[in-house]
Amino acid sequence: MSMTLSPSIRPAIGRYSVVLSASLCALTLTSCVSNVSSQVKESSKDQSGKFDGTWLAEVQKSAGRQPMPGNWIANCDGSPWNFTLRVADGAAKNNLRGSREKAFVSSTGDFRFDIPVKSVAKEAAGSDRSLSLAKQTMIVYGNLEKGKGRFTNAVAEFGNNGCTAIIEFSRTGG
């Protein structure tokens, strides 16, 4: 999922519609997805094996332009795409960009990956060149029991906001 950032040049009335749109978008996107705000500790991982197996993660189509803090707009590739999770003994691994990250799955199905990204978000023409946009993270979290989650291509400079999409999880093998 690639991203460019550009300033939102709108009159004051337009700012209110952006805030309202962002609020409605956030409400719509988060209503079915529980937020896993931190990684599950190894001591809290599921030991029953009920989540062990291979899971298909289907990243849903998302908005191509997503509001960011400070009147910025993220221009996102909102195309749907897939990846897999493999869970064994309560530990999940994924196939995202050669990631070697591991996340633990709780007994209720919660998990979270924070995967550092080496590439950086690009600034669109006419944007503020003082932004470094050097620290990006792929944040993937969800709940396997509920089959829902979220993917965010997060930019630290924007409070880890970025291009985001809902994920639907389904078990494909044991």
What string of DSSP letters covers 111-170?
A: EEEEEEESS-PEEPTTS-TT-----EEEEEEEETTTTEEEEEEEEGGGTTEEEEEEEEEE
Q: Name the one residue in this structure whose structure tokens are 């040049």.
A: 9
User: Average pLDDT of the chain?
Assistant: 81
Residue 149's pLDDT band (cuts 50, 70, 90): very high
Q: Token match 């009147």: residue?
A: 71
Q: How confident is the model at residue 131 (pLDDT cuts 50, 70, 90)?
A: low
Total tally of structural domains belonging to the chain: 1
pLDDT at 173: 76
Asked which of 32-36, 51-55, 117-121 is least confident by mean pLDDT, the reply is: 32-36
Run of H or E including 58: strand 53-59
Token pair, residue 60, equals 């849903």
pLDDT of residue 27: 36
pLDDT band at 129 (very low <50, low <70, confident <90, very high): low
Distance CA 156, CA 1 (A): 16
129 or 63, greater pLDDT = 63
* C-alpha span between 138 and 114 (Å, rounded): 6
Compute the average pLDDT of residues 130-150. 87
Question: Contact at 8 Å (CB) between 56 and 84?
Answer: yes
Distance CA 60, CA 164 (A): 10
- Is residue 5 over pLDDT 90? no
Residue 124 pLDDT: 59
pLDDT at 9 over 60: no
Residue 22: phi and psi, rounded to 5, are -65, -40
> Does the structure show a pLDDT above 70 at 25?
no
The pLDDT of residue 1 is 56
Comparing 73 with 126, which gets the higher pLDDT? 73
pLDDT of 96 over the 60 cut? yes
Q: Could you list the residue range(s) of the whole structural domain that residue 23 is in? A: 3-173
CA 26/CA 21 separation, integer angstroms:
8
Look-up of token digits 């999880």? 169
Q: What is the DSSP letter of 38?
A: S
Mean pLDDT confidence for 84-100: 91
117 forms bridges with which residues in the sheet? 136
Rounded Cα–Cα distance for residues 161 and 66 (Å): 10
